[in-house]
Amino acid sequence: MQDIIKKIENRERVTKEEALRLYNLELIELGELASTIREEKFGKKSYFNINRHINPTNICKDTCKFCAYSATRKNPNPYTMSVEEIVAIAKGAWEKGAKEVHIVSAHNPEVGLDWYLQSFSEVKKALPEIHVKALTAAEIHFLATEYNKSYEEIIELMIAHGVDSMPGGGAEIFAEDVRDKICKGKVSSKQWLEIHKIWHSRGRKSNATMLFGHIESREDRIDHMARLRELQDETDGFNTFIPLVYQRENNYLKVENFLTAKEILKTYAIARIFLDNIPHIKAYWATSTINLALLAQEFGCDDLDGTIQKESIQSAAGAASANGMALDEFVGLIQDSGFIPVERDSLYNELKVY
Ligand code: V47
């Protein structure tokens, strides 16, 4: 282990095998290694944004086992918003200070490509300064397949309709055997990476998630991060890595053992060490709980997502994000935990240091 620690202290890149061995390191020691890297980059600053998640439809062609949101899974309330409703939500969010709308839907074959695209262009028309973060690679793959278009064509349409950046959803876990068990039929790992590569080639930024704490192994997590690190070496287009803690309610994925807080914190710390080329590691409080997200600041995480306002996908499976969090409470909690809250825009320009 000492050889790996030396490498990390010298800021040398660790291999997949070494990253895996880091799980055997004592938690606090691992946290300190990750924390030193975080502090070197950002000091005590913890980033967040004032954002609004909009999930315009839950009718989905796909059948991911972990999903509690889709109306074709266990959610008895199918819905689809009109473009006007989406714009009205965005306007309301803007009035409450949101600078970003994060628009992610299910893969709804009934509404047509124009419904997806118009929701972005109409939001942009009404609110030219708002940042539109929209369409996961899984949605892009669905739209390309459904409407017989190439990924490039969908991406050009997104840009033409005002999408500024791409969220990191749909990555789940790249290891094909696990992916087959939890979300067979949806965008493949190779396709997910290809779509982000095309997006980056247009000079655009995106995020990358990893759904963990279900049936994947530690090896699968490291493999997932390694595939992201490899693409990032090529494109430098990922802003943030977001490990999403699996939420267990109202779905069809039967999981015997849930993650301990220790395992979650170790995974955050290893992500900070291993992903030496992705600037931000996000402890997404909605799935980790706010208490663990605050602690994660000591384990390499420098971003806590945002106030959210409302979120429907993960809260359907038990996450605490249904109604977001008040700004003053969020800021107060970061300050009380010894860090400096920094409101950022979607591309990490600093807007306000508290
Ligand atoms: O890809 C679905 C996940 C994701 C469950 O880019 C679940 O800034 C946990 O990607 N337990 C969508 N997670 C959300 C997402 C996201 C969230 C916050 C910030 C950003 C960003 C992106 O939600 C899906 C899927 O992995 N999800 N079901 C569940 N039971």
Cβ atoms of 346 and 280 closer than 8 Å: no
User: Could you tell me which residue, 77 or 31, shows the higher pLDDT?
Assistant: 31
SS3 238: strand
Q: Which of 58-62, 309-313, 316-320 has the lowest mean pLDDT?
A: 309-313
Report d(CA 76, CA 286) in Å as an integer: 23
Query: What does each C-alpha distance from 115 to 123, 136, 169 come to in angstroms?
Result: 12, 16, 20
pLDDT band at 75, cuts 50/70/90?
low
Cβ atoms of 317 and 68 closer than 8 Å: yes
Nearest CA to ligand 1 atom 15: 169
pLDDT band at 258, cuts 50/70/90?
confident
Into how many domains does the chain fold?
A: 1
3-state SS track over 122-166: HHHHHCCCCEEEECCHHHHHHHHHHCCCCHHHHHHHHHHCCCCEE
Compute the distance from residue 313 Cα to the ligand 1 centre, in Å: 7
Q: Is the Cβ atom of 317 under 6 angstroms away from ligand 1?
A: yes
pLDDT at 269: 98
Best of 47, 209, 289 to mutate for ligand 1, by most ligand atoms within 8 A of CB? 209
For residues 285-297, average pLDDT: 93
Percent of all residues in the chain with a pLDDT value above 70, rounded to a whole number:
97
Q: Is the Cβ atom of 37 under 6 angstroms away from ligand 1?
A: no
Q: Is the pLDDT of residue 336 over 90?
A: yes
Q: Which helix (H) or strand (E) holds 287?
A: helix 285-288
Distance between the two ends of the chain, CA-based, in angstroms? 39
Domain region containing 271 = 2-353
Compute the distance from residue 230 Cα to the ligand 1 centre, in Å: 22
Query: What does each C-alpha distance from 227 to 122, 199, 213, 221 come to in angstroms?
Result: 35, 17, 19, 10
The tokens for 182 are 């939890």
Q: Is the pLDDT of residue 13 over 90?
A: yes
Task: Give, to the nearest 10 degrees, the angle between helix 261-274 and helix 218-235.
Answer: 30
What tens digit of pLDDT does each residue of 39-74 get?
999 999 999 999 899 999 999 999 899 998 888 766
Nearest CA to ligand 1 atom 14: 169
What tens digit of pLDDT does each residue of 172-186 get?
999 999 999 999 999
Burial class (CB in 10 A: 0-12, 13-18, 19+), 128: exposed
CATH number at residue 186: 3.20.20.70
